[in-house]
Each structure stands twice: as structure tokens, then as C-alpha cells.
Chain A
């Protein structure tokens, strides 16, 4: 999917201090019956967010008015489990542009990047620090600067660098897409098939 350009984000953050958040929690399988990419945000974290009578659960962070923003901060090993890209669509459709964690499952990471959602992997210490600051002050501003590959806590000025491979960084900064890149290689691909 060609996506919007991604450069710099400054936002309050939503803290989801749970480890091993799997794709079945991000978007339960029963919502995978759609044939388009839209509308998954409604069911993001469905079973944590709503009870059996579809009433919002007050103790879940997305239902807590204190926390808002386009940055989701989550515990270690976010996005484990299924390859369903619907998980990345749900995160994106809900309005998150960045997910911060100390560890991401591989497939989720690829899926997020392919949908203009930036997974920012930080150290366990820095993750603790972010959770700590948000807990103290729910208005804590987090800055994610893709160009500089930096995540900064605005008030305290504490920051950390994050990794992203330079190809993917270019894609995000410019809104490019992998398929365009591959389509330009069709002759080379055909030649490869010949040589096999």
C-alpha cells in the first residue's frame, strides 16, 4: 500500500503495559472476514476493550480518557502470533502511527512498516522510563524523529536512538512502496527464472 510520508511525530502516548500482546488480542480472528483493508480500528483489542455486551471495559487503557495520542507504547514482544496484516491495519486504522516496544515479532514488524506504522524498538530500560513518565504525567509528550532515528521524551529531554534499515527508512520518508520497487525488477526476475 503506498502510504503517507512519515517524518516526525510529536504526541502524547497510550501506555499498554502488557507483554506478549499477540495478534489474536490486537484483532480477534472473528473479525477477519472482511475483504477490504478498512474499518479494523473499531475492533482493535476488541476483547480487552469491550465486554460480552459490547460495553466498553472501564479498566482498559483505550477506554480511559486520560490517555490519547498517535503513539502506542507496549510491553515486550508486541505482535506475536499470526501473520494477519489485519493487526497492522487495525493499529493504523485506529489512528496510531507509531508503536513503541522493547521487542517486536518479526512478521508484525514487516506488516507495520508496509502500512506506514513505525515500530520503534527501544531498550528495556528506556521502555520502563517511558511507562514511568506517562504514569506520572499522562500528558507526557513523546517525539519520534525518523530522520534522526531518535525517540525523545519532550519534558525530560531523555532520548534514545532506534534502528531501522536504510531502505525501509527511505520508503517511509518518501511514502514509497515495495511493490513499485519490485515491479521495476521484472526483467531481472524473468532472467533469474531462465537461469534456474
Chain B
């Protein structure tokens, strides 16, 4: 019999029951919740007269719908305030740990899980948010779910879920200077398209992936969903174990040693077979940027928007619609376009390493006059560390506006909206029409690219400045 993939091993170890010709009953180790996708789930279980089945397995924080200024004051927007208060009430009533707005652990769910050591190898994790795939960087099976499924987990700590197919994406070789994890994943998605991963769970492997820091691996796994995949994971290794060591909720002392022994076994067997396998060469990857309105529409910054003749017939309408929305022409070159906003933040690139990259680049420089630059740390801990390392000061001196932690302009549920028609370069993960505010136009890129553009005011390949 062929060996098992890492995904199979974790999934199979969590199957409580199987329905013939139907989904599996999957046990969930950790459940993260936030204010936007949980209220209807709490209402659902309460309507059935139920309590949360395993409150200790759920952790909550508000992130999507919160202001990023004056967080110590009452939230001004009435609906947002109501939703955030609802989360507090629900958590209190059901005995769920909540890191509220004033708590030092508050932040974007996918940033705080790893930084607090909640996310650990071999776990199953879910959250009512598609970027739950981020946690796969630790060798866990983590994926986003809908609110009915949040309700299932609250009620039974399980969900019904069909087992996805398995894909492996190998990136071998060495990444060149100026190329980051974000470029790697934008490159992969540009090759796979925004639907190429649908039905699959991806394992990322190869020497280029191994060489990434945990932050970089999180960036890669985070955007798995942008290829349509349910999630992505990377086998844990020394980099993983080192990152986890000493974190708030990580196992300590001999428990940690025991855990590492177990975690070391978490890898795909040599003879395991995947349903699909893709191979990329790290040397082909350059700094990337998107030109259209889905994350699959990415190109090398140094190149051009593809000509219409290069687009598959079935994609043609979407392509034309995208260019019309973005105000771009087929075949146009990317470099030199004037940009209005730079947004550094989100669960893709709002971690301390990302802020360091930006600070390193802009140190002693000033942002261009035409640019409004926002930096939004992914969590209170990131914010604190940025203050301690002097990053905050560097960024402020360069003319960047620092905001308080939250999802912010990534989805523009709060006041952090890119105005209609304005062009933004964002380190987040989605460039959908209106994602950053009605009529806003978004181009996705790495923190280094964003920093370079903030300084020059136009699209530029950061490699030319290194």
C-alpha cells in the first residue's frame, strides 16, 4: 500500500465517524472566532437550547469590524459596536476566552493564533474566515468555514466535511534577492489561476519553501485559498519548533520535548501519491504584482499586462471586465504607473517581519508626496514589538501613518477605505472589485515592493533599488 501524505495523516487521525458516500465527521482541536461570522452561530445553538460543547477549545478576538484609531474609546459606528459587543456577550455567556480590544493579545485571528503558540503542528483548526489556511504553515490542517459550520463546531466540536483531494506544490532552488514569500505565492497562483486549486488541499514543499521563515510560510499558506484550494500546509521542521518554543500557550519544558518528538513524525511518506503535483523553479520567480481583479491575475513587475491573445477564451470576459475596472490596457507595462495609496497590513503581511522589511527599506527616506501610506500591525503584540524595535519611529519619520491592529483596509469594513477610483498597492490578499472600499482599485504585492512604491510614488521593481 502506498504511504500517506501529511494531510491524510492529520485528517485521518481526527475522523470520528464516516458517512457512507458522504462527508466525514471531523474533530476540531482549535476553533477561532471573530465578531463577523459568529453571532448567527451563537443564536443558532441558543435557539436549540444548547451550550457550547467544548468552550476551552475556542478562542475569540474582534478584528474585522473594529476601528484602527482610538481603540480605547467606545466604537462610534453603531452596527460595528453592536457586533463587537455581541461577541463579548456570547463569549461571556458560554465561557469562551476572548481577547477584546483592550487586551494585549488582541489582533487578527490568523496573526494571534501563531504568535501565542495556540497554533501547533498536527492540529485540526477552523475559523469562520477563509484565510484560516494561514495556520497550515505549522503543519496543521486548517481551513475556513461558513457560519453554519461554526455553529456545528460550537455545538459538537466537529464538522461534517468531505475530504478534499491532495496536491503538492514543489518550489525548488534558491530565491533571489528581493524575492519574498509573497512573490512566491503570487507567482504560484498566477500559474494555477484563481480556481486551479478548487477541490484540493495543498502541501507546499521543496528547498525554497523550507528556506522560508515561519512568517514567510504563513504568507504562502495564507493565500492558498486564492487559488481556490481549501487550505495549504507545510511539514513542520526545526524552523517551526524554534518558532513555537516559549510562546504563551506552547507546551513547556518536558512537555515541549515530548511534543517535538511527535511533531517530527509529521511528514509525507516518500511513497505517498498526490492527486496532482506541480513543480516550480525558484529561479523563475521575480517580484510580482497583480493587475486585475482576482489574485490569479499577477505578473512580474518588470513585465507587462498580458495581451488579449494570451488569455484563454473562457477567461476573456473576466479579463476584459477586470481591465476596464482597473483602468488598464492590454499589453501595458506595469513599471511607472502612478499609485495613490500603499497599505501594509492584514493576515498575509501584517506580522513583525513584514514591518521590519518596510522599515529597513524606508529608513532615512521619505514617502513620495502623491502617496498616502498606511501601516496596520496585525496584532497588539506586533504593535508593541514594532515600538520596542524603533520601527514605529522609522516609519513615522518616513511619513507613514500607523494605525492600531485589525483587518482594516484589507476588507474595508471599518473607516479605512481606499476612495473610489484610487489605486492602491496592498500587502493583503484580495484585489476584488471594491474590496478596499467601493470603486477602489487594488494591486497586490510584497511588503518590500510596497515600501519601494511608497518611496518612489510609482510602480517599480524593488530589485532595481537593492
Q: Which residues of A contact B (CB under 8 A)?
A: 1, 17-20, 22, 24-25, 28-30, 32-37, 47, 52, 75-77, 80-86, 88, 103-107, 110-111, 114-115, 124, 165-168, 178-179, 181-183, 185-186, 188-189, 192-193
Contact stretch, chosen from B209-217, B244-252, B373-381, B430-438: B430-438
Q: How far is the CB of A29 from chain B (nearest CB, A)?
A: 4
Q: A37 near B149 (CB under 8 angstroms)? A: no
- Bound-state CA distance A18–B319 (Å) is 10
Query: Is A29's CB under 8 angstroms from B413's CB?
Result: yes
B155→A52 contact, CB < 8 A: no
Task: Report yes or no: B430 in contact with A36, Cβ–Cβ below 8 A.
Answer: no
Q: A35 to B198, alpha carbons, bound, how many Å?
A: 30
Contacts from B to A (Cβ < 8 Å): 16-17, 19-23, 25, 27, 36-37, 39-40, 43-44, 48, 50, 53, 64-65, 77, 79-80, 82-83, 86, 128-130, 132, 144-149, 151-152, 155-162, 164, 194-195, 198-199, 225, 228, 230, 294, 314-315, 317-318, 321, 411-413, 420, 430, 432-435, 438-439
Known: A85-B148, A183-B155, A192-B16. A105 touches B228 (CB 8 A): yes
Tell me the smallest distance from the CB of B294 to a CB of chain A, in Å: 5
Say which residue of A20, A106, A183 sits within 8 Å of B294 (CB atoms). A20
Complex CA distance for A25 and B321, rounded to whole angstroms: 13
Instruction: Choose from A32, A106, A185 the contact partner of B164 (Cβ within 8 Å).
Output: A106
CB distance from A13 to the nearest CB of B (A): 19
Identity of the chain A residue whose Cβ is nearest the Cβ of B16 in the assembled complex: A192
Which residues of B sit under 8 angstroms from A115, Cβ to Cβ? 148
Whether B43 and A188, one on each chain, are in contact in the complex, defined by CB atoms closer than 8 angstroms, is: no
Q: Which residues of A contact B145 (CB under 8 A)?
A: 83, 107, 110
Q: Is the CB of B80 within 8 A of A24?
A: no
B158 A165 Cβ-Cβ under 8 A: no
Residues from chain B with Cβ under 8 Å of A85 in the complex: 37, 40, 128, 146-148
Instruction: Find the A residue at minimum CB distance from B195.
Output: A77
Can you list 8 A-B pairs, Cβ within 8 angstroms, ordered by A? A20-B194, A32-B65, A80-B195, A80-B294, A85-B128, A114-B146, A182-B25, A193-B27
In the assembled complex, the Cα of A101 lies from the Cα of B273 at a distance in Å of 30
- Chain B residues within 8 Å of A186, by CB: 53, 156
How far is it, in angstroms, between the C-alpha of A25 and the C-alpha of B438 when the chains are bound?
A: 11
CB-based contact A83/B129 at 8 Å = yes
B230/A83 in contact, CB under 8 A: no
Docked Cα-Cα span, A104 to B195, in Å, equals 9
Q: Which of these, B37, B39, B149, B225, contacts A84 with CB under 8 Å?
A: B37
Contact indicator B434/A47 (Cβ below 8 Å): yes
Name the residue of chain B whose CB is nearest to the CB of A195: B16
Cα distance A33–B79 in the bound complex, in angstroms: 6
Contact A29 B411 (CB under 8 A): yes
Is B318 a contact partner of A18 (Cβ separation < 8 A)? yes
Contacts of B20 in A (CB 8 A): 166-167
When chains A and B are docked, how far (Å) is the Cα of A81 from the Cα of B435?
11
Apart from A22-B294, A34-B79, A192-B16: 5 A-B pairs, beta carbons within 8 A: A19-B318, A20-B195, A20-B318, A33-B413, A83-B128
Take A33-B83, A165-B162 as given contacts and tell me if A24 and B432 are in contact as well, using a CB distance cutoff of 8 Å: yes
Question: Are B160 and A19 within 8 A (Cβ)?
Answer: no
Contact B148 A114 (CB under 8 A): yes
Residues of A within 8 Å of B434, CB to CB, are 24-25, 28, 47
Residues of B near A18 (CB, < 8 A) are 317-318, 321
Of the candidates A52, A105, A185, the one whose C-beta lies within 8 Å of that of B438 is A52
Nearest chain-B residue to A102 (Cβ)? Answer: B314
CB-based contact B198/A105 at 8 Å: yes
> CB distance A83 to B146 under 8 Å?
yes
Contact between B21 and A30 (Cβ–Cβ < 8 Å)?
no
Docked-complex contact A35 and B155, CB < 8 angstroms:
no
**Residue in B43, B44, B199, B432 whose CB lies within 8 Å of A25:** B432
**Bound CA span A55–B412, Å:** 22
Q: Is the CB of B40 within 8 A of A35?
A: yes
CB-CB < 8 A to B44: which residues of A?
1, 179
Please report the C-alpha to C-alpha distance between residue A18 and residue B219 in the assembled complex, in whole angstroms: 29
Please indicate the chain B residues that have their CB under 8 angstroms from the CB of A185 in the complex. 16-17, 25, 156, 158
Contact check, A183 vs B19: say whether CB atoms are below 8 A apart. Answer: no
Contact A167 B21 (CB under 8 A): yes
Q: Establish whether residues B433 and A24, one from each chain, have CB atoms under 8 Å apart when the complex forms.
A: yes
Q: In the complex, what distance in Å separates the CA atom of A183 from the CA atom of B25?
A: 11
